[in-house]
Amino acid sequence: MTGSRPTLHYFEDDAAAALALAETLSVLSAPIAVHRFPDGETLPRVRAPAQTAIVYRGLERPDAKLFPLALAADALRRGGARRIVLVAPYLPYMRQDAVFAPGEPVSQSVLANFLKASFDRVVTVDAHLHRTKSLGHLLAPAEGDDLASTPALAAWIRATAVRTDLIVGPDEESAPWVRAIAEALGSAWLTMRKVRHGDTAVEIVLGDAAAVSGRRVLLVDDICSSGGTLRQAVRVLRNAGASDVVAYVTHALFGADVATALKLEGASVVISSDSIPHASNAVSLRGVLAAALQRELIGR
């Protein structure tokens, strides 16, 4: 076991983000080596941990990552770590928080049970918890911290030439998050709403077109994968007379074709946080994550 100051452990494909975070925290970092057997099984090997071990893991495309992550946590615990903190800027499987059709699982609960079996604390950003009380409630008795990307986004806006008059969310569920961003930027805000026409057809509706006309809009969403919702939202805002639309998503699960499609609909800029590596990354979460982890460095 190393000294009392936490160590930050990371998998090879997360090296850039993990090392940047370790530098910000001024803690030692240690790669997790993964041996792959011919039959597809994996065997992670960790370096001797401190009493508090921080594990950084990007969990986009999660199915191939989750079991090796649990194995690494087990190795850290057996190596002497008394507290293990997972830093996963993007937390998957949060959208399926109920049974929406017969025969489906509640994926959110399954993942929560999986994580709290291995970790004492989970730190993430802008988790999709629209109908869930809190991440802490979901993960209890483990700790759960759902951080807001708002400070990082506000800092980026202030540091660039991008100017916005109005913050817009694509649906009513996004209202608390949109309001927080608007308050941080000193801007007005509103939300659009989704109207369902059958099982799959969803229409994005803007209640007050006059509130958008001639204004520079920052359209924000927590997750974008196929881009269907955001493409509709950009189109509606442009048709309502918005003079400019900047689209921001925290978690860029989409490919380059979606970013291109958003621009074709009228978005002048498409940006994302660096929770998931993507060409649109502009907003760094390092400071937000480091601030939340400071208490792990004190008195442990």
Catalytic residues: 194
Round to whole Å and give the CA distance between 49 and 68.
17
Compute how many other C-beta atoms are within 10 angstroms of the C-beta atom of residue 203: 12
- CB 127 within 8 Å of CB 251: no
Give the contacts of 38 (CB within 8 A, at least 6 positions apart). Answer: none
Round to whole Å and give the CA distance between 196 and 34.
45
Order across the sheet with 143-147: list the strands. Answer: 42-45, 28-36, 7-11, 52-56, 83-87, 121-125, 143-147
Which segments within 148-200 are labelled E, that is strand? Answer: 166-169, 188-191, 193-197
Give the contacts of 257 (CB within 8 A, at least 6 positions apart). Answer: none
Euclidean distance between the first and the last CA atom of the chain, given in angstroms as a whole number: 14
The bridge status of strand 83-87 relative to strand 143-147 is unpaired
Residues in the chain: 300
Distances (CA, A) of 151 to 74, 184, 285: 34, 7, 9
Nearest CA to 276 out of 246, 255, 247, 245 is that of 255
Tell me the backbone φ, ψ of residue 149, rounded to 5 degrees.
Answer: -80, 0
Angle, helices 286-293 vs 150-159, to 10°: value is 140
